[in-house]
Amino acid sequence: MSISPLTEIEGVFSSVSDPTITPARRIVAAAATLAALTALTVPAPIAAAAPCPDLDLVFARGTSEPPGIGRVGQALTDTLQSELAGRDVTTYAVNYPATYDFLAAADGAADATNHMLATAAACPSTRFVLGGYSQGAAVIDMLLGIPPLGNKVGDIGSAPPLPSSVANKVAAVAVFGNPATKFGNPITAAGPPFAGKGIDLCNDGDPICSPGRNPFAHTDYEGTPLPGQAAGFIAGLL
């Protein structure tokens, strides 16, 4: 059982006042008193807050990928950090199911918005890059106010766009295999404050974002030059 510093001090003072205690033992008791007082007066160390990054990449993974930024998000992160050597770049993996319940993609848009609001409040100078692959690209569409299922379907299953307080902090947007592109709504057509900040990348033959019929073209973005192209585009805007 541990003894509190106050209890130690009380015991030490009792020893010092005892006439039967020898001078040598009184010196030891005084030293113990000093140690106990130090334990009371020295504050516990305070953990340092994490520094604010220059750039925060908010990336939504594709359908059926495990939680995290996904393989395309990792490829973009690696090339972007190389492009922006010397700048502090962090990543945030959008938290959403990424299952075949595509209506749940709206959960990802809500999560990204909440993360960005919290980050902007704590780190006002941090800027954001938005990115997504496949269903994750649809998440990013929602944040930009683009209906991911096309204008004919409207905003069914969608989420509100980013509030202006964080939308103005978005430096660039990069999406891969974006289904909205097939409906004629690429992110390059987004209005202010995203105009001119987006790149919409589609592999040749990818049936999700083009009239192509090669399903394998949708599953190999990380092995193509497209993440590097996106990183170069982003770096050019910073």
Given 115, 141, 200, 218, which residue is catalytic? 218
Q: Kindly list the distances between the CA atom of residue 112 and the CA atoms of 95, 157, 204, 235, in Å, as whole numbers in the listed order.
A: 8, 16, 29, 22
Q: What does the block give as tokens for 224?
A: 């193509």
DSSP 61-83: --TTPPSSSHHHHHHHHHHHHHH
- Active-site annotation holds for 218: yes
Catalytic residue selected from 56, 111, 134, 200? 134
- Whether 158 is a known active-site residue: answer no
Paired strand residues for 226: none
Active-site residue 2, yes or no?
Answer: no
Helices (H) and strands (E) in the chain, counts: 8, 5
Query: The tokens of 231 are what?
Result: 């990183």
In this structure, which amino acid lies at residue 175?
A: V
Radius of gyration of the chain (CA): 28
Catalytic residues: 134, 206, 218
